[in-house]
Amino acid sequence: MLPRVDLPEVILEVMSWEPSLAEAFTAVSGGRSRLEDLPISIAACLAAHSMNVGYRPIAKNGVPALERSRLSHVFQNYFRPETLAPANVPLVARQAGLGLAQAWGGGMVAAVDGMRFIVPVPAAFARPNRKFFGSKRGMTWLNAINDRGIGRGAKVVSGTVRDSLHMVDVIFGLDGGELPEIVVTDTGSYSDVVFGLLELLGISYRPALADLPDQKGWRINADAGYGALNTFARGKIDLRKVRRNWEDILRVVASIYTGTVRAYDVVTMLQRDGHPTALGEAIAAYGRIFKSLHILAYIDVDETYRRDIKHIRNLQEGRHSLARKICHGKKGELYHRYQRGLENQLGVLGLVLNCGVLWNTVYLDAAVQQLRAQGYPLREEDMARLSPFVSKHLGVHGAYSFALPDLPPGAIRELRDPNAADDDEDEDDKTYRGVPSGQLLKTVLTGTARRCRLPRA
């Protein structure tokens, strides 16, 4: 039922819903004067860098807001981490107010995972890793999403270091909103020290552990009998280490919580020559208590515990799949030599992904409301499994238009008729390409499709 649309139109439509998105982009000089048609130039820069196609297919001579020199000036002076992060905040808040997003989750569960990019030019952050990059070099975009599928923050890290060294920093650098109550990661972001730190920071950590049957459980009483779990509980926790270092542990945790130090610096400080220090071993020992409880809950308590972990990890994979579709230019390889360039481009990609997720959520929510009004039977469990990362309707190739359809205030595009033929080369797809800029994009489909009012946040 979602109308077919090109990515630049998605960006512009979301910007029309949330004017504060464009307002978040301020000049690096601090000046308050705004260029004419600046939102158009911002949308063009977002499209060019998220799709990794450069300015050539985007720029249009004779259109001041889309001149190549104008786009280059806007990107250099208005795009930086300090403007990209605030631009995400209204998108997160807008999606949270939609009924369908609330059916997906409460927003207090987060997943952190890394997306790998090849960087074929000499770059400070590019490192060799044959597993991910073959014979080339690359880096990792470590990003976080909530259980509603919208991105909350990210960090660019080297392609060789373990994600666990940076994962806590990603959680404490989220774009607006509260800290999550639960964090889910894969094995690459797991360590016993991270387990201990997150539990002390008041966050329940639930990593998906590889080779689960071979994982070691930890006991405090060496003489206790655990029956069939005796082999599993073969590790021994020495609580005396925790007691001796308890005051220092609390100081470290308070420093991370208040932002006095980065978690990355703390985690590296707690190791020496690849081995934990006495303080690091004490935090790891504390974390092993909760690691053992996590494994026991995963294998024995409730099927929903496992299902929820798998669900948000699948969400993260869906986001990365959409990111690969959008960032298609230059075969998805990044050509920045410096960290700031990588941060800016991947920050743009994260913002555009959030625009796409919000757009999908709004239209999926409108489709659900329309089906309900028609008496179609909708089950809550089916709604909870709808994906905010559907992309068949999204165009990222061809000529790019930066003209919004002439819609009344508060209205969205017409939904498509689900009973009509769904062919990628059908007539309505051709009709969209021929519509002059500025005219109302009316679907050629008839029947139940009609204009829908935009749900309020």
What is the predicted pLDDT for the residue at 425? 44
Q: Does residue 32 surpass a pLDDT of 80? A: no
Apex 264 CA angle, 261 and 270, nearest 5: 90
Apex 211 CA angle, 130 and 308, nearest 5: 100
pLDDT digits (tens, 9 = 90+) for 285-297: 999 999 999 999 9
Give residue for tokens 């990044």.
334
What is the SS3 assignment for 396? coil
d(CA 350, CA 108): 19
- Average pLDDT for 170-193: 89
Alpha helices in 301-338 (DSSP H): 303-326
pLDDT bin (cut points 50, 70, 90) of residue 16 is very high
What is the predicted pLDDT for the residue at 350? 97
Apex 361 CA angle, 359 and 362, nearest 5: 65
β-sheet bridge partners, residue 112: 144, 185
36-40, 130-134, 151-155, 438-442, range with the lowest pLDDT: 438-442
Collect all residues with Cβ–Cβ distance below 8 Å to 124 and sequence separation of at least 6.
Answer: 337, 338, 339
pLDDT digits (tens, 9 = 90+) for 251-264: 999 999 998 999 88
Q: Does residue 281 surpass a pLDDT of 50? A: yes
- Average pLDDT for 15-26: 94
What is the predicted pLDDT for the residue at 280? 94
What is the predicted pLDDT for the residue at 6? 95
Share of residues in the chain with pLDDT > 90 (%):
67
What is the predicted pLDDT for the residue at 457? 39
pLDDT bin (cut points 50, 70, 90) of residue 440 is very low
pLDDT digits (tens, 9 = 90+) for 107-153: 999 999 999 999 999 988 898 988 889 899 999 999 999 999 999 99
What is the SS3 assignment for 137? strand
What is the average pLDDT score of the chain? Answer: 87
What is the predicted pLDDT for the residue at 429? 41
Main-chain dihedrals φ then ψ at residue 406, nearest 5 degrees: -80, 80
450: left (phi over 0), alpha (psi -120 to 50) or beta: beta
CA distances from 50 to 7, 58, 228, 232, 263 (A): 10, 12, 53, 47, 29
168: its two tokens: 């806590």
- Average pLDDT for 414-443: 50
pLDDT bin (cut points 50, 70, 90) of residue 329 is very high
181-195, 255-269, 366-380, 437-451, range with the lowest pLDDT: 437-451
> Please, are residues 335 and 121 in contact by the beta-carbon 8 Å criterion?
yes
What is the predicted pLDDT for the residue at 204? 95
End-to-end, the C-alpha distance of the chain in Å comes to: 21
pLDDT bin (cut points 50, 70, 90) of residue 422 is low
62-76, 85-99, 439-453, range with the lowest pLDDT: 439-453
Q: Does residue 441 surpass a pLDDT of 60? A: no
What is the predicted pLDDT for the residue at 421? 59
